Amino acid sequence: MNKVEIHKKTFPKLNLAIGIIWFLSGFSSLLDEDKSMSFFNGLSLVLGILYIFLSFYERKPFYIIENKKIKKNHFPLKEFDLSSLSKIIRFASSYELVSEHQKSFKINTEIFDKASLQKLTSILEEYESKINKQ
Protein backbone atom coordinates (compact mmCIF):
# COMPACT_ATOMS: atom_id res chain seq x y z
CA MET A 1 0.00 0.00 0.00
CA ASN A 2 1.24 3.46 -0.84
CA LYS A 3 1.68 6.11 1.78
CA VAL A 4 -1.56 8.05 2.31
CA GLU A 5 -1.56 11.34 4.22
CA ILE A 6 -4.70 12.60 5.95
CA HIS A 7 -4.71 16.36 6.62
CA LYS A 8 -6.70 18.49 9.05
CA LYS A 9 -8.79 21.50 8.11
CA THR A 10 -6.43 24.22 9.28
CA PHE A 11 -5.49 27.79 8.56
CA PRO A 12 -1.68 27.76 8.51
CA LYS A 13 -1.49 30.86 6.29
CA LEU A 14 -3.62 32.83 8.73
CA ASN A 15 -1.52 31.67 11.68
CA LEU A 16 1.63 32.59 9.79
CA ALA A 17 0.29 36.09 9.07
CA ILE A 18 -0.76 36.58 12.71
CA GLY A 19 2.64 35.34 13.86
CA ILE A 20 4.51 37.73 11.60
CA ILE A 21 2.37 40.65 12.78
CA TRP A 22 2.95 39.79 16.46
CA PHE A 23 6.67 39.27 15.89
CA LEU A 24 7.12 42.52 13.94
CA SER A 25 5.16 44.40 16.59
CA GLY A 26 7.46 43.17 19.33
CA PHE A 27 10.60 43.56 17.25
CA SER A 28 9.77 47.14 16.21
CA SER A 29 9.28 48.10 19.85
CA LEU A 30 12.78 46.74 20.56
CA LEU A 31 14.23 49.02 17.89
CA ASP A 32 12.54 52.08 19.40
CA GLU A 33 15.26 53.76 21.45
CA ASP A 34 12.81 55.68 23.65
CA LYS A 35 11.24 52.55 25.10
CA SER A 36 12.82 49.86 27.19
CA MET A 37 11.86 46.21 26.95
CA SER A 38 8.49 45.73 28.61
CA PHE A 39 6.43 42.66 29.41
CA PHE A 40 4.05 43.27 26.49
CA ASN A 41 6.89 43.67 23.99
CA GLY A 42 8.38 40.36 25.10
CA LEU A 43 4.96 38.75 25.06
CA SER A 44 4.32 39.87 21.48
CA LEU A 45 7.70 38.43 20.41
CA VAL A 46 6.93 35.09 22.09
CA LEU A 47 3.40 34.97 20.63
CA GLY A 48 4.75 35.76 17.19
CA ILE A 49 7.27 32.94 17.35
CA LEU A 50 4.65 30.49 18.69
CA TYR A 51 2.19 31.35 15.91
CA ILE A 52 4.89 30.95 13.26
CA PHE A 53 5.84 27.51 14.64
CA LEU A 54 2.15 26.58 14.83
CA SER A 55 1.64 27.42 11.17
CA PHE A 56 4.46 25.07 10.16
CA TYR A 57 3.33 22.34 12.60
CA GLU A 58 -0.20 22.37 11.12
CA ARG A 59 1.15 21.62 7.66
CA LYS A 60 2.13 18.10 8.78
CA PRO A 61 -0.35 15.35 7.95
CA PHE A 62 -2.54 14.40 10.91
CA TYR A 63 -2.63 10.69 10.06
CA ILE A 64 -0.32 8.63 7.87
CA ILE A 65 -1.48 5.28 6.51
CA GLU A 66 1.23 2.96 5.18
CA ASN A 67 2.33 -0.66 5.54
CA LYS A 68 -1.09 -1.65 6.94
CA LYS A 69 -0.71 0.78 9.84
CA ILE A 70 -2.39 4.05 10.62
CA LYS A 71 -0.29 6.50 12.62
CA LYS A 72 -1.44 9.63 14.36
CA ASN A 73 1.28 12.12 13.51
CA HIS A 74 0.38 14.71 16.16
CA PHE A 75 0.58 14.72 19.93
CA PRO A 76 -0.13 12.24 21.50
CA LEU A 77 1.43 9.88 18.97
CA LYS A 78 -0.57 6.68 18.40
CA GLU A 79 -0.39 3.77 16.01
CA PHE A 80 -2.89 1.07 15.01
CA ASP A 81 -2.14 -2.07 13.00
CA LEU A 82 -4.87 -2.37 10.39
CA SER A 83 -4.04 -6.01 9.65
CA SER A 84 -5.42 -7.01 13.07
CA LEU A 85 -8.60 -4.95 12.64
CA SER A 86 -11.68 -6.88 13.72
CA LYS A 87 -14.44 -4.27 13.57
CA ILE A 88 -15.09 -0.66 12.52
CA ILE A 89 -17.71 1.21 14.53
CA ARG A 90 -19.12 4.28 12.81
CA PHE A 91 -20.54 7.16 14.77
CA ALA A 92 -21.99 10.43 13.44
CA SER A 93 -18.62 12.17 13.28
CA SER A 94 -16.04 9.54 14.07
CA TYR A 95 -14.74 6.04 13.53
CA GLU A 96 -13.59 3.59 16.15
CA LEU A 97 -11.22 0.87 15.01
CA VAL A 98 -11.41 -2.21 17.20
CA SER A 99 -8.98 -5.08 17.44
CA GLU A 100 -8.68 -8.05 19.75
CA HIS A 101 -4.95 -7.47 20.22
CA GLN A 102 -4.79 -3.67 20.52
CA LYS A 103 -6.46 -0.81 22.28
CA SER A 104 -9.26 0.73 20.21
CA PHE A 105 -8.32 3.67 17.97
CA LYS A 106 -10.71 6.61 17.59
CA ILE A 107 -10.71 8.94 14.59
CA ASN A 108 -12.65 12.20 14.67
CA THR A 109 -13.75 12.87 11.08
CA GLU A 110 -14.94 16.45 11.63
CA ILE A 111 -11.40 17.82 11.62
CA PHE A 112 -10.40 16.64 8.11
CA ASP A 113 -10.65 18.41 4.80
CA LYS A 114 -12.97 16.82 2.22
CA ALA A 115 -10.30 15.18 0.06
CA SER A 116 -8.59 13.59 3.06
CA LEU A 117 -11.91 12.41 4.48
CA GLN A 118 -12.74 10.71 1.18
CA LYS A 119 -9.34 8.96 1.16
CA LEU A 120 -9.80 7.79 4.75
CA THR A 121 -13.34 6.58 4.12
CA SER A 122 -12.35 4.60 1.03
CA ILE A 123 -9.44 2.93 2.83
CA LEU A 124 -11.58 2.02 5.84
CA GLU A 125 -14.34 0.68 3.56
CA GLU A 126 -11.75 -1.49 1.83
CA TYR A 127 -10.64 -2.94 5.18
CA GLU A 128 -14.26 -3.33 6.30
CA SER A 129 -15.08 -5.36 3.18
CA LYS A 130 -12.11 -7.64 3.95
CA ILE A 131 -13.44 -8.14 7.49
CA ASN A 132 -16.94 -8.96 6.23
CA LYS A 133 -15.61 -11.57 3.78
CA GLN A 134 -13.97 -13.54 6.60
For residue range 19-66, list pLDDT tens digits in order.
999 999 888 887 876 666 678 888 999 999 999 999 988 888 888 999
Degrees, nearest 5: CA angle 77-108-116: 90
φ/ψ of residue 57, rounded to 5: -65, -35
φ/ψ of residue 72, rounded to 5: -80, 120
- What pLDDT does 1 receive? 59
Confidence (pTM): 0.73
Cα Rg of the chain (Å, integer): 21
φ/ψ of residue 91, rounded to 5: -110, 180
**Would the CA dihedral through 34, 40, 42, 48 be positive or negative?**
negative
